[in-house]
Structure 1
C-alpha cells in the first residue's frame, strides 16, 4: 500500500514538473488566475478535484 502511494506521489511530481517545463508562462497565468479567487472558491475547486480524483481512481481500480 505504501509503495503504491509513493508511486502515485512521484507521478504527480513528474506531471507537475512537465507542466512547468513545457509551458512555464501558461502555468504562471493559471497561478495568477487562482490568486484572485476567494478562499471559499479555492476550497470548492479543491473539493471538486479531490472528488473527481477519487471517482477516477475508483473507476480505474474496479
Structure 2
C-alpha cells in the first residue's frame, strides 16, 4: 500500500493572560516544516493543494 502524502498539522492552544495563543506546525508533503499563523493556514494549504488537484482513491 502506498504511503499517504497528506500533510500533518499540529495545533497547540495555550491560555495566556492576553487570551489564547495558537501555535501551528505544518509538515508539508515534501517533509518541509513550517510554523504557520492561524490566519495564513488556509493560504498555505491552498498553495500545497491547488484547486482541481483533488484525487479520490
Which structure features the higher share of strand residues? 2
Structure with larger RCO (C-alpha < 8 A, sep 6+): 2
Q: TM-score, normalised by structure 1?
A: 0.28
Which structure features the higher share of helix residues? 1
Q: TM-score, normalised by structure 2?
A: 0.30
